[in-house]
Amino acid sequence: MAERLTYLSDAWRDEAEKRLKAELEPEKMKFITSSMSNIYTGCPDGKDRYLFFGFRDGKLDTLSIGEGEPPGAEFRITGSYDTFARISRAELGSHRALMTGKLKLKGNMVKALKLASIADRLNRVLSTIPAAY
């Protein structure tokens, strides 16, 4: 059994970056240039964290994890650590999380709809990382 990486740890980020770059080719990502900040409230240590994705021409340009105010992004998705963890474990769909208000999206909804399938692809890759929550 593969080693479980602590969710949102530096090691998890490195693995996520490696897998996203390997598995999401620019064509699959529709050559998008966009950015998204996932904001996790109530992490196990009581802190809030962000996971920032930056794509340029379909390539993952930046993937960063941090505390406090995230870098400016085209889309900002806020939810509890538990909600994001459930999505990563495929226990909860991201669309359902949005439609029930468990996640809050800030950004242009019409553009977000265009990127919904891309976000799903991204989440699918992240869900393959063996993680400890």
Partner 1 sequence: MKQNNDPYYIDFPGRIQAIQEAMANLNIDAYLGSRLRTLSWTLDAFCPWRSFIVIPARGLPTAFTFVIDAARVADDSWLDEDQVFGFAPMGGQDQIEQISDFIRDRLKGGKGRVGIESGMSNYLPEGNLTHYEYQQFKAALPDAELVNAHTIIDRLAMIKDPGTINRFKEASRIVDVGHQAVFEALSNGGYKEMTETEIAGLAAYAMRKAGSEWEWSFTGGNEIASGYRTGYMGGACTPATRKKIVAGEPLMVDIHAMFKLGLGDHAHNYFIGSATDRQWWHANNFIDIVKRTIEAYRPGITPSQLAEEMMDFAESREFADYMVPGFEHGIGMMGDEWRIGLNDGPFPYWTNPDHVYRENEVLICAMQYACPEEAIGFRYENPIVLTPGGCDVMSKYSLGVELIV
Where do contacts with partner 1 occur on this chain (CB under 8 A)? 78-79, 97-106, 108-111, 113
Nearest approach, Cβ of residue 118 and partner 1 (Å): 17
DSSP 46-108: S--EEEEEEEETTEEEEEEEEESSPPP-SEEEEEEHHHHHHHHTTSS-HHHHHHTTSEEEES-
Nearest approach, Cβ of residue 96 and partner 1 (Å): 10
Nearer to partner 1, 85 or 97 (CB): 97
Nearest approach, Cβ of residue 113 and partner 1 (Å): 7
Nearer to partner 1, 6 or 108 (CB): 108
- 69 contacts: CB under 8 Å, gap ≥ 6: none
> Long-range pairs for 94-101 at CB < 8 Å and ≥24 separation?
94/119, 94/120, 94/123
Nearest approach, Cβ of residue 66 and partner 1 (Å): 21
Nearer to partner 1, 21 or 95 (CB): 95
Nearer to partner 1, 9 or 108 (CB): 108
CA dist 126 and 23 (Å) reads 10
